[in-house]
Amino acid sequence: QKEVEQDPGPLSVPEGAIVSLNCTYSNSAFQYFMWYRQYSRKGPELLMYTYSSGNKEDGRFTAQVDKSSKYISLFIRDSQPSDSATYLCAMSALLVGNTPLVFGKGTRLSVIA
């Protein structure tokens, strides 16, 4: 079983839609959960992170973690064309400086004006 699974999409939505992006994982040691956004020809950029279970909101973005189901989500409200990018989930067991991140494959999102 792969450590982190993420539906690669592509996902195409109209402007203003609510977008739901998801990842599942198998390693119960993961404690830190991150969402990165990657624009074409750019490196990943950290959007949000959460520790353990629960929700975290930042503007139009909400990250959710359900450790009992080993399932994380990113919701984007009022999606904009500028949100068009690939969204990568990433996770780790620890968050000291040298801890490797384990990434999902990324979901390509297109928001159509």
Partner 1 sequence: EPEVTQTPSHQVTQMGQEVILRCVPISNHLYFYWYRQILGQKVEFLVSFYNNEISEKSEIFDDQFSVERPDGSNFTLKIRSTKLEDSAMYFCASSEDGGGGLTEAFFGQGTRLTVV
Please give the Cα distance from 35 to 16 (Å, whole number).
Answer: 21
Minimum separation from the CB atom of position 9 to partner 1 (A): 13
Minimum separation from the CB atom of position 14 to partner 1 (A): 27
Cβ proximity to partner 1: between 32 and 75 the closer is: 32
- Cβ density class 47-80: b for 16+ within 10 Å, e for less: bbbbeeeeeeeeeebbbbbeeeebebbbbbeebe
HSE-up of 110 (CA within 13 Å, CB side)?
Answer: 6
Span near partner 1 by CB under 8 A; candidates 55-63, 64-72, 74-82, 104-112: 104-112
29 binds partner 1 (CB under 8 A): no
Among residues 1, 68, 82, 100, the one that binds partner 1 under rule CB under 8 A: 100
Please give the Cα distance from 73 to 84 (Å, whole number).
Answer: 17
85 binds partner 1 (CB under 8 A): no
| Binding footprint of partner 1 on the chain (CB under 8 A) | 4, 32, 41-46, 49, 88, 90, 95-106
